[in-house]
Structure 1
């Protein structure tokens, strides 16, 4: 029988957040194990609800959702994005410069596909949300990673970014607040990146899906307020701030030097037309979401659930003999590392698998985010504080076994006699 082989274009594409570890976790759940899933920022799994006003907006407009919309999206949703950008100080944006997509994930693919030719380069942060690297590679480009060092709180060094620019560089990606590290970039850093992009005529792709999720005194600065003399694409959506991952609604709005990018915008319009339109019912929630009360602020201030769960992570790390972390200032993750010298043979992939198999906790190894080092892992702060406190006890048990050269001690097996058939 002839083997059906996958495309060679997938050779440099990885998305381990939903890879082998997640598949193994699913197998274990089918056998009756309770797995704590910390690998994905999926609010609905942990009891977060989409604001009721957004659900009602969808219901009330179901009759208007049965036909295809314009390929760029419905006008009320695009106009709501314009109004939000204007309220933040972004000028020169109209509904014509806004595209709605099936989540930001689809738009990442579309904006890169419309831009890149073979071997064009895109500067991508490292560590990074792996879809950016994957999408560059899938669209014939080459992802060039600029480092965001832990010693600098995971903020990039603009001089290191500029040193990577070549004649093939077309764009720079900024993820702020950052996934996976939780860094919130300073205005000075963002201004320096904006000037680099302008000097070298690079498109700026600013992934701001966590724009309103910040903690303590962190200040989010929209990139589009700083970029004037080149094209800036701001990307956001409903999935995180509004806890509506399943609605699959994202958007990209273009600002800055629009006139010189008309051919590129036409190419993006063509690609949007090829997929007809994005999910229409979910688009009706956008105007209500952006124009209404921002309930995320209740969750991120002291006493709010996201704030307190983040604090539980910081407490767990502080109480550990092995772990360290730069306190996340935004987003819904912590990028946790091993203290230097305490476990010299630590391997993030082995740790993640052992933690799943023996302690029933699923997380994402740091190398999932295109790091060259194997000393970090990412968890989400979406579970309740008491759940995260228990997770750190399980981690410490496993790390103790590493330090003592002992075999990991597994948690009790499930009572298979009472496991329901989940097939």
Structure 2
């Protein structure tokens, strides 16, 4: 840099690069790797959804949409949330279409966080939560969950980290990386604390479609929580539309209209053709989602049982497509285990510590791979463990 002036933002400079990327990049440079690393469906987007996108292009729908997104899409999102999760939002004023759920999270935090506000981040957590809080000027406060509790939040833990600066709680159920799903009673216990301490909740429900053992409960459906919640979701996981970069947020209009202002200045609108595709996904895509879900459930059952048979203790995840087994019995750290497994047996997994301190001693394995690949991965892991 010239002289004594530094041109870079201190906040941005302090951010650590994503730990997931490092392993993914390493795996990509090697031959014959089975990757259980990336959080992405192995299905391609349904043909009818792709066709709706192609049709929109052929008809020349290539200009901007309204900042908040196509009204027809917002109406379909509202209908879908009401039908599937029993939560009601006004499409005109309470729903915004975003560039992936990631942008919705960013907008939510920038909308509610003042400099120095604390946001409780339940860990292990998706790698972007803490950095997004920091970029919004806030302070992420980790709330560590334990494998012994199947990584479920204990309400008394929340109270132990609340201070006068606490503004919000970030929830993710089904959880990335643990696959843990919070049931209605567990959400109600959290809601009582949220109300008592006058907090807001950012509820990341991107995996809501992918729950396997019981109906899903959306956080704003809990009594008195709709007015305190920013619901974030999207099309990437449930509808296998990761590359389309389309998400949404739903919130009371007082919050949502401020999110919309930031969105106007930073993004204008989400891609037009992706929005037309999403309308089709919501109207006619639920059968395809069910088929994917059945396939994931079969793979989950096989993979988690196999991990336990290998001696890598793993709870049965209720949702998403991740297993989060303990590797503590090996005596290796998460990083050592993941690196050696990749170099020796060409299986890529993500070390648990990248998701927060409480993820140390675990690895994240995505079972969004074919059954044949999962079987081969288990075979290689068995070989690796027998040598340790």
TM-score scaled by structure 2? 0.92
Alignment partners' CA distance in 1, 2:44 and 2:247: 18
1:171/1:138 CA distance change after superposition, 3 Å: same
The answer as to 2:137 corresponding to 1:140 is yes
Partner of 1:333: 322
CA distance 1:105–1:92, shift in 2 (3 Å): closer
Residue 214 of structure 2 corresponds to: 218
Secondary structure at the aligned position of 1:336 is classed as coil
User: Match of 1:171, SS?
Assistant: strand
Partner-residue secondary structure (3-state), 2:101: helix
Task: Please say which of residues 119-128 and 138-147 is displaced more in the overlay.
Answer: 138-147
Aligned-pair distance for 1:210? 0.9
Q: Given that residues 203 and 219 in structure 2 are in contact (C-alpha distance below 8 angstroms), is that contact kept between their aligned partners in structure 1?
A: yes
CA offset digits 1:83-137 (Å, max 9, x no partner): 1222232235333111111100111111111221222111111101111112112
Alignment of 1:162-181 (within 5 A): 162-181=159-178
The alpha-carbon deviation at position 200 of structure 1 amounts to 2.1
Taking the TM superposition and a 5 Å limit, the aligned residue runs for 1:3-18 are 7-10=9-12, 11-18=14-21
Question: Which residue does 1:359 correspond to in 2?
Answer: 345
Distance of 2:305 and 2:187 partners within structure 1: 30
SS state at 1:162 partner: helix
- 1:384 aligned onto 2:370: yes
Q: Which residue of 2 aligns with 1:318?
A: 308
Counterpart contact for 1:202–1:231, Cα < 8 Å: yes
CA 1:373 to 1:174, structure 2 compared with 1: closer, same or farther past 3 Å? closer
Q: In the TM superposition, what whole-angstrom CA distance separates every residue of 1:178-233 from its partner, at most 9, and x where no partner exists? A: 11111111111111212222222222111111111112x33310111115254211
Distance change in 2, residues 1:306/1:248 (3 Å): same
What secondary structure is seen at the aligned counterpart in 2 of 1:143? strand
Q: Out of 260, 271, 279, which is 1:279 matched to?
A: 271
Once the 2 structures are TM-superposed, how far is the Cα of residue 279 of structure 1 from its aligned partner? 1.2
Tell me if 1:36 matches 2:50: no
Among residues 60, 64, 83, which one is paired with 2:55 in the alignment?
Answer: 60
1:26 alignment partner in structure 2: 28
Q: Does 1:51 align with 2:46?
A: yes
* Inter-partner Cα distance in structure 2 for 1:184 and 1:233: 18
Q: RMSD across aligned C-alpha pairs, in angstroms?
A: 2.0
Question: What SS class does the counterpart of residue 104 from structure 1 fall into?
Answer: helix
Q: CA–CA distance in 2 between the matches of 1:93 and 1:34?
A: 49
Q: 1:64 to 1:207 in 2, by over 3 A?
A: farther
- How many residues are aligned here? 380
Query: What is the match of residue 408 of structure 1?
Result: none
Question: Where in structure 2 are the equivalents of 1:16-415 lying within 5 Å?
Answer: 16-19=19-22, 21-28=23-30, 33-43=31-41, 46=42, 48-62=43-57, 63=59, 65-87=61-83, 88-215=85-212, 217-228=213-224, 230-255=227-252, 258=253, 262=254, 264-274=255-265, 275-294=267-286, 295-301=288-294, 305-320=295-310, 322-338=311-327, 342-343=329-330, 345-372=331-358, 374-402=360-388
- Deviation string, structure 1 residues 256-276 (Cα, Å, up to 9, x no partner): xx5xxx2x4343121111121
**Structure 1 Cα separation of the partners of residues 141 and 116 of structure 2:** 11
From the superposition, tell whether residues 227 and 271 of structure 1 become closer, same or farther in structure 2 (CA, over 3 Å): farther
Q: Distance in 2 between matches of 1:105 and 1:84?
A: 20
SS at match of 2:209: coil
The separation in 1 between residues aligned to 2:121 and 2:268, in whole angstroms, is 29
Q: Which stretch shows the higher mean deviation, 90-99 or 66-75? A: 90-99
Deviation at 1:373, TM superposition (A): 5.2
| Partner secondary structure for residue 390 of structure 1 | helix
Partners of 2:52 and 2:196 in 1: CA distance: 44
CA contact (8 A) 1:346 1:374 kept: no
CA-to-partner distance for each residue in 1:232-265, whole Å, 9 max, x for gaps? 111111111111111110000114xx5xxx2x43
- TM-score, length basis structure 1: 0.85
1:405 alignment partner in structure 2? none
State the distance in 2 between where 1:228 and 1:286 align: 30
Tell me the SS of whatever aligns to 1:95. Answer: coil
Q: CA deviation at 1:14?
A: 4.1
Report which stretch shifted further, 58-67 or 166-175.
Answer: 58-67
- Are the structure 2 counterparts of residues 298 and 68 from structure 1 closer, same or farther at C-alpha, using a change threshold of 3 Å? same
Shift of 1:400: 2.6
The structure with the largest alpha-carbon Rg is: 1
